[in-house]
Amino acid sequence: MKITHIEHIGIAVKSIDEAISFYEEVLGLKCYAIEEVKDQKVKTAFFMVGQTKIELLESTDAEGPVGKFIEKKGQGIHHLAFAVEDVAGALPEIEEKGIRVIDKTPRKGAEGLNIGFLHPKSTFGVLTELCEDPNR
Ligand code: CMX
């Protein structure tokens, strides 16, 4: 498995509109995309910082992963996503090393990326995502 860079940092927020205002008006970043990912029960907003993105996540369902996270832990960093060249190959390779893998095979995430998650209980408390851009 080869990690090329940090693809994005996911931040759970209660209101994506309020959070966008902070990132744009206070930090001076530009939101370049807003997308609902129905499968993940979230609405997302993206900002580019160098080659890394900030992904704001607002839950669209209290029982979804971000809804449950905010209920339990409050707003804050939700996950760390690494860009890899081959998610389908990386997931079984990681599982073979005894790490708890949430997705055994890749699924489609925001921006059409192929993604897979590793369970935070196996990764020192940080929900870890692997992403592959199929257009690269
Ligand atoms: N970071 C760190 N720990 C987390 C966490 C997170 N984001 N989400 C849950 N946990 C912890 C809980 O606090 C809980 O810990 P304790 O038992 O110590 O209280 C434990 O993980 C719960 O684990 P669980 O019972 O297996 O499951 P949950 O139903 O809470 O689900 C998880 C947790 C990570 C398996 C689930 O959220 C998941 O599958 N996430 C992957 C998908 C996802 O997060 N999608 C949203 C983002 C989509 C996008 O980026 O587009």
Please provide residue 110's backbone torsions phi and psi, each rounded to the nearest 5 degrees: -55, 150
69: CA distance to ligand 1 center in Å? 7
Q: For residue 136, is pLDDT > 90?
A: no
Q: How many Cα atoms sit within 13 Å of 99 on the Cβ side?
A: 24
Using 50, 70 and 90 to split pLDDT, how confident is the model at 116?
A: very high
Give me the chain's average pLDDT, please.
96
- Residue 65 has a pLDDT of 97
Q: What is the pLDDT of residues 20-53, one digit of tens each?
A: 999 999 999 999 999 999 989 999 999 999 999 9
What ligand 1 atom has the least distance to the C-alpha of 78?
A: 7
CA torsion angle for 80, 46, 108, 134 (degrees, to 10)?
A: -90
Per-residue pLDDT tens for 97-111? 999 999 999 999 988
In 3D, which of 127, 120, 110 has the Cα closest to residue 47? 110
The answer to whether 128 touches 118, Cβ cutoff 8 Å, is yes
* Pocket-testing residue among 79, 87, 114, 123, ligand 1, by greatest number of atoms within 8 A of Cβ: 79
102 lines ligand 1 (CB under 6 A): yes
Q: Answer whether 54 contacts ligand 1 (Cβ < 6 A).
A: no
Which pLDDT band holds residue 135 (cuts at 50, 70, 90)? confident
Q: Which of the two residues, 109 and 55, has the higher pLDDT score?
A: 55
Q: Residues 6 or more apart from 46 whose CB is under 8 A from it? A: 8, 31, 32, 33, 34, 35, 53, 54, 55, 56, 110, 111
| Bridge pairing between strands 76-84 and 128-132 | parallel
The per-residue pLDDT for 93 is: 97
